[in-house]
């Protein structure tokens, strides 16, 4: 579904990706783990077009998408939930969700998708008229994921969805990620919380200073000595 072939990107003058190869197959949960500044977020941003790719190829369903403008990449069915949630804090919860479905003009489709989002995140329904910025961190993360679901993506990229959230909320979010995957959405998950991520992932990549250090299926990585020492200690 998605292939990154020897991708190199610069992020604010820093050579952030030094030749990354990652592939994601349809129906998988794939996780990218690694420490701060390893290049996890830059990888997602390179895919969605927020960061320019210097060399290498990014293929989505066989077509080259590197250096396509972001609004076109997302139209192909790639939703990117950015790090730090980045909800529109001055827009209402409803407007945030409507922004997710910006490319959709049919009101029935929008309503249908919104119901679907409320099915996963019933709390959002109670807060529909509230400004996004007035919600708690966990609710904001739910809104950010809900907003991405409004695009009805084939590939959902999540950048550190557990960041700054209470353990019980993290648990919930990962549960929902699993459910979404079971509904057929392919997931590319970036996490510092390696243990949680590897538990739900089919496969994982360990990224270090802009290069892939290790890869394997979730279970293998979780029991790998190197991974245990560096990320699970």
With residue 210 as reference, give the H or E element that holds it.
none
> Does 80 interact with other proteins (rule: CB under 8 A)?
yes
> Does 52 interact with other proteins (rule: CB under 8 A)?
no
> Does 69 interact with other proteins (rule: CB under 8 A)?
yes
Determine which residue in the list 41, 74, 162, 193 makes contact with other proteins, applying CB under 8 A. Answer: 74
What is the SS3 string spanning 118-169? Answer: HHHCHHHHHCCCCEHHHCCHHHHHHHHHHHHHCCCCCEEEEECCCCCCCHHH
Q: Nearer Cβ to other proteins, position 61 or 223?
A: 61
Q: How far is the CB of 84 from other proteins (least distance, A)?
A: 7
> Does 151 interact with other proteins (rule: CB under 8 A)?
yes
> Does 79 interact with other proteins (rule: CB under 8 A)?
yes
By residue count, the chain amounts to 233
Q: What is the rounded CA–CA span in Å between residue 87 and residue 142? A: 10
> Does 67 interact with other proteins (rule: CB under 8 A)?
no
Q: What is the rounded CA–CA span in Å between residue 7 and residue 222? A: 26
Candidate ranges 74-82, 170-178, 185-193, 196-204; the one touching other proteins (CB under 8 A): 74-82
> Does 95 interact with other proteins (rule: CB under 8 A)?
yes
Q: Nearer Cβ to other proteins, position 74 or 224?
A: 74
Q: What is the rounded CA–CA span in Å between residue 107 and residue 102? A: 11
With residue 9 as reference, give the H or E element that holds it.
strand 2-11
Q: Nearer Cβ to other proteins, position 80 or 127?
A: 80
> Does 195 interact with other proteins (rule: CB under 8 A)?
no
Q: Nearer Cβ to other proteins, position 156 or 222?
A: 156
> Does 102 interact with other proteins (rule: CB under 8 A)?
yes
Q: Nearer Cβ to other proteins, position 82 or 204?
A: 82
In three-state secondary structure terms, 12 is coil
Q: Which of residues 30-49 bind other proteins (CB under 8 A)?
A: 48-49
Render the burial of 145-161: b for 16+ CB within 10 Å, e for the rest: bbbbbbbbbbbbbbbbb
> Does 98 interact with other proteins (rule: CB under 8 A)?
yes
Q: Nearer Cβ to other proteins, position 58 or 206?
A: 58
118 exposure class (CB count in 10 Å sphere: 0-12, 13-18, 19+): middle
Q: Which of 25, 6, 163 is nearest to 81 (CA)?
A: 163
Q: What is the rounded CA–CA span in Å between residue 158 and residue 121? A: 16
Residues that bind other proteins (CB under 8 A): 48-50, 69-71, 74-75, 79-80, 82, 84, 86-91, 95, 98-100, 102-103, 147, 151
């Amino acid at each position: 579904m998605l292939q990154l072939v020897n991708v190199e990107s610069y992020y604010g003058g820093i050579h952030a990706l030094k030749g990354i190869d990652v592939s994601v197959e349809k129906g998988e949960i794939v996780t990218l783990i690694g420490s701060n500044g390893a290049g996890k977020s830059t990888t997602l941003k390179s895919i969605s077009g927020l960061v320019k790719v210097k060399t290498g190829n990014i293929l989505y369903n066989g077509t080259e998408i590197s250096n396509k403008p972001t609004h076109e990449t997302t139209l192909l069915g790639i939703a990117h939930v950015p790090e730090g949630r980045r909800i529109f804090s001055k827009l209402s919860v409803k407007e945030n969700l409507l922004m997710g479905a910006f490319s959709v003009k049919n009101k029935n489709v929008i309503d249908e998708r919104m119901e679907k989002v409320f099915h996963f995140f019933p709390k959002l329904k109670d807060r529909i008229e509230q400004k996004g910025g007035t919600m708690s961190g966990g609710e904001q993360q739910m809104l950010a994921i809900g907003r991405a679901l409004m695009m009805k993506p084939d590939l959902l990229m999540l950048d550190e969805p557990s960041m700054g959230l209470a353990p019980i909320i993290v648990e919930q979010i990962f549960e929902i990620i699993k459910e979404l995957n079971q509904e057929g959405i392919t997931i590319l998950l970036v996490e510092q919380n390696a243990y949680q991520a590897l538990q739900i992932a089919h496969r994982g990549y360990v990224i270090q200073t802009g290069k892939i250090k290790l890869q394997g299926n979730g279970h293998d990585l979780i029991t790998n000595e190197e991974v245990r020492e560096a990320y699970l200690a």
